[in-house]
Amino acid sequence: MTTHAMPLRFFIVEDNAIIALDLTRRIEKRGHVVVGIADSADPAIQGVLETLPDCVLMDIRLRGEVDGIMVTEEINRISPRPVAYLTAYSDAGMVQRAALTNPVAFIIKPVRDADILRLIASIRSV
């Protein structure tokens, strides 16, 4: 990151704590900030609306009955944020549902460093 660029603020919604911590480490290593982490719908919505991040990394499958797509729909209804979906699944129906929320990216798990770098570049260009 160049010294004149402001750090981006990310909120991570991921029900696997190990993945959430790994993403946090990767984002912070690049000079950006993770402003919150949630593993289910209600804390995710509340956290995103309180912190207003530059980007939400949203796992499609979450704990509980509400999935990440429904969480994104609710966030978009109240205060739209750029969302990048994280998924280990490539179910066509799920991808079509998610695409209707206009995500900035789909990132397939396991997440690679190149995926994070592309996401940062795309957020900067918005």
Q: Is residue 3 part of a domain?
A: no
Chain segment 3-55, per-residue pLDDT in tens = 458 999 999 999 999 999 999 999 999 999 999 999 999 999 999 999 999 99
pTM of the model: 0.94
Q: What is the CATH number of the domain that holds 74?
A: 3.40.50.2300
Tokens, residue 122: 């795309």
Count of domains observed in the chain: 1
User: Per-residue pLDDT tens for 48-78?
Assistant: 999 999 999 999 999 889 999 999 999 999 9
Residues spanned by the domain of 40: 9-118
